[in-house]
Amino acid sequence: MTIEVTGGIVVRERGTVVTYRQRCDECGYVYDYDKTTIVPAYSTRSARNFTCPECGHYQEVSMRHHK
Ligand SMILES: [Zn+2]
């Protein structure tokens, strides 16, 4: 089971806990600090959206488990 993050890249995952960095889909900008959240098994979780400081793109963030 792996966790897929939209609007971010996975740094590491352990069970339902994922550490990720916010990433802009538009220009590829990646924040230089990690965020950690819990994604319930087999479900989707929304995370805090952000506005890219590089290009101003409003990026939605969500993560989901998939087998
Ligand atoms: Zn951007």
Domain positions in the chain are 2-66
Q: How far apart are CA 31 and CA 43, in angstroms?
A: 25
Supply the mean pLDDT for the chain. Answer: 94
Q: How far apart are CA 24 and CA 26, in angstroms?
A: 5
Q: Extract the runs of DSSP E, i.e. beta strands, from the chain.
A: 2-6, 8-14, 17-22, 35-38, 44-51, 58-66
Q: In angstroms, what is the span from residue 6 Cα to ligand 1's centroid? A: 14
Q: In angstroms, what is the span from residue 49 Cα to ligand 1's centroid? A: 13
Considering the chain, what percentage of its residues have pLDDT values greater than 70?
A: 100
Q: In angstroms, what is the span from residue 30 Cα to ligand 1's centroid? A: 8
pLDDT at res. 39:
93
pLDDT at res. 13:
94
pTM: 0.89
Q: In angstroms, what is the span from residue 51 Cα to ligand 1's centroid? A: 8
Q: In angstroms, what is the span from residue 56 Cα to ligand 1's centroid? A: 6
Local structure of residue 59 (DSSP, 8 states): E
30 CB neighbour count, 10 Å cutoff: 12
